[in-house]
Structure 1
Amino acid sequence: MKQLIVFSIIGFIAQLIDGAMGMGYGATSATLLLMFGVAPAVASASIHMAEIATTAASGASHLWFKNVDRNIMWKLVVPGSISAFLGAAFLSSIPGQHVKPVVSILLLLLGAYIMLRFLFPQGSGTNANGARPRRSFLIPVGIVGGFFDAVGGGGWGPIATPMLLTQKGISPRKAIGTVDTSEFAIAVSATLGFIIFLGWDQFHWPWVFAFMIGGVIAAPLAAWLVKILPAYMLGVIVGGFIILTNSMTIVKAAALPASWATVVYATVILVWVSAILYQLKNRKQLVPVH
């Protein structure tokens, strides 16, 4: 019983991060289950089953607070759903951890780019102005994000959110809300794949419901935070979060000694906190989030 309570709390925290930053639920939950010795395919299957409820609550909340660009969402959903289903089939035979370091390096660079662009903007300080993301850009993002989400237990947000944030035609608030809302379709598609290729008996239902309960409670609060945070601050927070989470994956893959890992994490956190303080000091007036 204590374990289920802990899982519910983790689900709450994971959804709070995911709903406010556009990423983190799958990665946080998958890490916990793998720590308990759960097989990657079973962990990913259980997380995606839980995400059907949490992403539905999160999507409804973001729609309520008008954090969603529907046009972009549909261009992500279709290729992402197909790719997630194929990723679920792929994971049935091949472990997903081998590809994570490569993706994490790319995402870390994207996180650094996002943070720098919001720290030193060339204009209004947001990326809401400019040409909107094209279909030729969104479809590959959906394909890659959906596939790695199913394979790694989490990847839709960490891939789709930073990629959207590199575009100048969508604000951080809309990028996060759109990715979170579209994730419902990705979760359903991946779960369907796991049901077909693994079977119902591979889902650990007590864990699934524990994650569901915590995530559903946190979803409205996370969407509200996205609504009220100014764009310039949200960009720096998300950029730093991307750098930190992917640094952890890279350090683990490189098998660095604990002392070196501590130095890496401390440096990333120090830079991240400094960037946030810099924004607070140099942006006296809040920039509206469109």
Structure 2
Amino acid sequence: MDPDFWLFLAVGFAAQLVDGALGMAYGVISTSVLLSFGVTPANASASVHAAKVFTGAASGLSHILYRNVDWKLLALLAGGGVVGGVGGTYVLTSVPGEAVKPYVVAWLFLMGLIILYRAWRQARPKVFSWKSPFPLGLVGGFFDAIGGGGWGPVVTSSLMGAGADPRKAIGTTNTAEVFVAAATAGAFLVSLLTGHWETEGLDGLLWSLAGLIVGGVIAAPLAGWMTKVLPTRALTWIVGLLVVSLAAWQAWMLF
């Protein structure tokens, strides 16, 4: 068996454990590792979204079982995310995705600071009243496709910054992600088959993809349980610190 399988099994396990528990970072972690191996951005994004179809399904089922999902919010986020993901796929296979990354980084940093402020003030979760979850999903899906990750950081951090219950924000965002990942992976496939996207090297990523899937599926049940049992304030602090750290890291890579 290819050594890449075991390496990416470990990467997939760690990434899904973080993503399933905190609502973000599977795509960012997995894509960053693939890019460090010299994989092109489009190939990395296509591979990660294919893996997220399976890991997202396992994660979503776990969150449903632990009752971490708001069904109305799920439908609106997933609908917007599907449209945004397909649009982002078309852009990524047409123009460099680096052009939009500075705006994503700035948004993440702002949301992270807001979440940390709420944790510091010990603000209690309130009934979420975001009036436009469909556009939020649209933006999250677009940036997710462009960067190979970004759905969780954009959507989860925005929900929590607006005062949503951390468990519901994380569980709903994770469950919606499987629909976004399926649509994005399908869009990459259509782009490849129609000749809009010409790429090489995807066949060499099969063992890496298998490792990401297996590791993520193993970690998903544990991550859902962690979201259920972690104290709300601790969860808020952890998510805020993670968002700010991811934004700082991305800014360092960009500038």
TM-score by length of structure 2 reads 0.93
CA distance, structure 1, for counterparts of residue 188 and residue 56 of structure 2 = 18
CA-to-aligned-CA distance 1:203-242 (integer Å, 9 cap, x gap):
5322111100000000000000000011111001100000
CA distance, structure 2, for counterparts of residue 21 and residue 76 of structure 1 = 17
In the alignment, does 2:158 pair up with 1:163? yes
SS of alignment partner, residue 187 of structure 2: helix
Identity, % of aligned pairs? 40
Question: How far is 1:131 from its partner?
Answer: 5.1
How many residue pairs were aligned?
A: 247
CA distance, structure 2, for counterparts of residue 231 and residue 216 of structure 1 = 25
SS of alignment partner, residue 68 of structure 2: coil
CA distance, structure 2, for counterparts of residue 92 and residue 236 of structure 1 = 36
In the alignment, does 2:108 pair up with 1:107? yes
Aligned partners of 2:4 and 2:211 also within 8 Å:
no
Question: How far is 1:103 from its partner?
Answer: 1.1
In the alignment, does 2:135 pair up with 1:140? yes
Aligned partners of 2:109 and 2:244 also within 8 Å:
yes
Question: How far is 1:250 from its partner?
Answer: 0.6
CA-to-aligned-CA distance 1:57-109 (integer Å, 9 cap, x gap):
00000000000001111011111101101111111121212321221112111
Counterpart mapping for 1:45-194 below 5 A: 45-121=46-122, 125-127=123-125, 129-130=126-127, 132-134=129-131, 137-168=132-163, 170-194=164-188
SS of alignment partner, residue 8 of structure 1: helix
Equivalent AA in structure 2 for residue 198 of structure 1? L
CA distance, structure 2, for counterparts of residue 46 and residue 23 of structure 1 = 17
In the alignment, does 2:233 pair up with 1:232? yes
Aligned partners of 2:104 and 2:143 also within 8 Å:
no
Task: Find the counterpart in structure 1 of residue 38 from structure 2.
Answer: 37
Task: Find the counterpart in structure 2 of residue 287 from structure 1.
Answer: none
Equivalent AA in structure 2 for residue 216 of structure 1? V
Aligned partners of 1:92 and 1:198 also within 8 Å:
no
SS of alignment partner, residue 94 of structure 1: coil
Runs (5+) with no aligned partner, structure 1: 255-290
CA distance, structure 2, for counterparts of residue 78 and residue 239 of structure 1 = 26
Over 3 Å counting, the alpha-carbon distance change for 1:26 and 1:131 in structure 2 is closer
Question: How far is 1:3 from its partner?
Answer: 2.2
CA-to-aligned-CA distance 1:27-53 (integer Å, 9 cap, x gap):
001001111111111110011111110
Runs (5+) with no aligned partner, structure 2: 194-198
Equivalent AA in structure 1 for residue 75 of structure 2? W
Equivalent AA in structure 1 for residue 191 of structure 2? F
CA distance, structure 1, for counterparts of residue 43 and residue 252 of structure 2 = 25
Over 3 Å counting, the alpha-carbon distance change for 1:74 and 1:94 in structure 2 is same
Task: Find the counterpart in structure 2 of residue 24 from structure 1.
Answer: 25
CA distance, structure 1, for counterparts of residue 168 and residue 218 of structure 2 = 22
Task: Find the counterpart in structure 1 of residue 196 from structure 2.
Answer: none
Structure with greater contact order relative to length (CA < 8 Å, sep ≥ 6): 2
RMSD of equivalent CA atoms: 1.4
SS of alignment partner, residue 30 of structure 2: helix
Question: How far is 1:195 from its partner?
Answer: 0.2
Task: Find the counterpart in structure 2 of residue 197 from structure 1.
Answer: 191
